[in-house]
Amino acid sequence: MRISRMPAAVAALLATALAATGCVTVSGASTPVAALDKHEAAKVLHDYEVQNNQAYANRDLPLNARAETGSLGVLDQAGLRILAFTDPNGNLGRAPILHERPEFLIPKVIGWPKWFAVQNTPNFNNAKPQFLVFLRAGPDAVWQAAWGPTLRSELPKLKRDSSGHLEQVSPNAGGLAASPGELAPVLTEFLKDGKTRAELFGPDPYTAQLRKQRDEPIGDGYVRQTVDSPAAQFPPLAVRTADGGALVLFALQHSIKLTVQPPRRLGDVDPSTLAFLTGKPSRSVTEHRLSEYVAVVPKAGGKVQLVGWVYGLVGAEGE
């Protein structure tokens, strides 16, 4: 078949028409672009609420896996497994969880994945604000919730362009107290002894609690082993703050093994832990946990402040 060359004027007119109808996909391979507008983001949030509530009502892990990915997906898959074990009747008849007073925070991103965040307050009693992040892995992928830490402090003012979009910060960005990619390894080192890189972190109740758990004496006849490590399978996300710092999401994983020495035996094991075991352990139990963090990282010379986190059991082994 012979194909004739399209006149330049016709090609330009067609391109304009396609753009007007939304048929042109801009991937932003080399230029930062916003993946969607606030109206589209609101629809993503609504569709997620419908799927998420249905998944929890029916303890439906496959449905949850379609709605969520990343560290939030791991946490909620484990949470649903625990609920299926401890409360198999589901949430039928209970009020759905909604994300009220949403503020949509949309960065301009180069390439894939694209993402945006929703600062919101869930509608259950005594709920604290949440930093819910949606991610789209590629042009043919769907939007999925990927992060969902609870905010314990107010977020700093974020840098915005004339359209209200945020500026993404790369994992290896310089000029900061720590680059986004350094935060997980550095916090891991700090948790080991409470001294390494301690000067980098401002005080916060959560890491103080983790350090206390690691330092607390354990009863005679018991041995406790704790291993903290970066959750490198979940790359950090970061945006620029108005003062030139960064707001960063990152994750850690924790394994805590409790071993009893004969003639002692393990006591009762928490039902949440039993959800991951095939039998009742008698000698040792290892719990695997995952934590998400939101950190405010100042310019070089300042202290990192953790302003949000969520921590959950995601697996267990017994002997």
The pLDDT of residue 14 is 34
Give strand pairing partners of 229.
253
Q: What percentage of the chain reaches a pLDDT higher than 90?
A: 71
Q: Kindly report whether the peptide bond that precedes residue 203 is cis, defined as omega within 30 degrees of 0.
A: no
pLDDT in tens, 224-236: 899 999 999 999 9
217 or 283: whose pLDDT is higher? 283
Asked whether the beta carbons of 284 and 247 are under 8 A apart, the reply is no
Residue 278 has pLDDT above 90, yes or no: no
Six-digit token string for 180? 């986004």
Residue 280 has pLDDT above 90, yes or no: no
Q: pLDDT grade, residue 4 (50/70/90)?
A: very low
Residue 130 has pLDDT above 50, yes or no: yes
pLDDT in tens, 83-127: 999 998 877 667 899 999 999 999 999 999 999 999 999 998 899
What is the CB neighbour count within 10 angstroms for residue 48?
A: 19
CA 143, 148, 151, 157 dihedral sign is negative
CB neighbour list of residue 228: distance below 8 Å, 6 or more residues apart: 188, 191, 192, 252, 253, 254
What angle (nearest 5°) sits at the alpha carbon of residue 187, between those of residues 126 and 182? 115
In the numeric block, the tokens 């290892």 are attached to 286
Give, to the nearest 10 degrees, the angle between helix 205-215 and helix 183-193.
40
The pLDDT of residue 306 is 95
CB neighbour list of residue 35: distance below 8 Å, 6 or more residues apart: 28, 106, 109, 114, 115, 116, 136
Average pLDDT, the chain: 88
Q: Which amino acid is at 157?
A: K
Residue 53 has pLDDT above 90, yes or no: yes
Residue 23 has pLDDT above 60, yes or no: no
Six-digit token string for 96? 């759905």
> Which residue ranges does the chain devote to CATH 3.10.450?
26-148, 168-319
Backbone phi, then psi, for 246, in 5-degree steps? -150, 150
What angle (nearest 5°) sits at the alpha carbon of residue 67, between those of residues 31 and 255? 95
- Fold of the domain built from segment(s) 26-148: Nuclear Transport Factor 2; Chain: A, (3.10.450)
Task: Give dist(CA 314, CA 97) in Å, integer.
Answer: 22
The pLDDT of residue 21 is 35
Domain 168-319 has CATH 3.30.160: no
The pLDDT of residue 9 is 38
